Amino acid sequence: MDYAKLIQTMEIVINDPPMKVTFRHQHAKLLELALAIADDGKPKGRPIPATSAMVALQVTLFDNWPGGVQPKRTPHRYKLAFKAWDGDPTRTSMNIDDPCFSGDAELLTAPALIEKAIALNNSLPGTNPKRKKVLVKNPISDDYSSMMMELANEFPSSLFALVKSKVHGEGTTHHHGQIARVEMSGGQITHGELYLTTERLDLPAFVPTYASGKPLKRPATAQSRFTPHDRHAGWRS
């Protein structure tokens, strides 16, 4: 695709929310590099804001195994994508305005979450005594590791997604105390909650449509939308 064609395509995509979702996932590396080049000075690696500072939150479920067939190098079937908006609650759109947080994470089983709690904490010994532990660039705290293990033990049948930011040149930061827990049945989320450092938020129902009512485009399968402001009540799921 030449430059003129790329610009033309992106001008079409930016005005079509479903196409934007598809474009982001098909061209994630292109967007990552473009953001790194732009470097507009916005705060990077921020966590999801507390509900008191939040205008809106969107959590989308993706199915990474088309038709239930596992692709190579894709061990986790489901993932959650998070978007949060803060600032002026009178904003008119959650589609056009840039979110203050955007990130995604695989949904992990309880045993996988415990492994992750150990792997991401450089102060904890590895699970394989015969293999040297690989240290991470941005390790999590002991308190966060303990929280992850406690949740895994308390809800052994749930799936979990860690809220994280990947910043070009700075690696991945897992935001302290921020983790989603969902219960699933038949590929559908029957209950979801999000821990936001010092609070817990029950996520609204996951529905198969955008706020506009249009069906989600695959691989997205369901979406939960929350806002604490009555002004945007119709946007909630």
* Tens of pLDDT, residues 176-191: 999 999 999 999 999 9
| The pLDDT of residue 220 | 95
> Is residue 180 classed as helix, strand or coil in its secondary structure?
strand
CA angle 233, 102, 217 (to 5 degrees): 70
User: Which tops the pLDDT comparison, 138 or 9?
Assistant: 138
Q: Is the pLDDT of residue 23 over 80?
A: no
Helices 142-154 and 110-119: crossing angle, nearest 10°? 170
With pLDDT > 90 as the criterion, what percentage of the chain qualifies? 54
Q: Is the sign of the CA dihedral 68, 73, 79, 81 positive or negative?
A: negative
Q: What is the pLDDT of residue 39?
A: 45
pLDDT digits (tens, 9 = 90+) for 100-118: 999 999 999 999 999 999 9
Element (H, E) at 149: helix 142-154
Domain boundaries, given as residue ranges, for the chain: 1-41, 45-235
pLDDT confidence bin for 43, thresholds 50/70/90: very low
Predicted TM-score (pTM) of the model is 0.78
pLDDT at 202 over 90: yes
| Mean pLDDT (whole number) for 203-232 | 93
> Above 70 in pLDDT, residue 40?
no
User: Whose CA is closest to 219, among 62, 25, 82?
Assistant: 62
12, containing H or E segment: helix 3-13
CA distance 145 to 43: 26
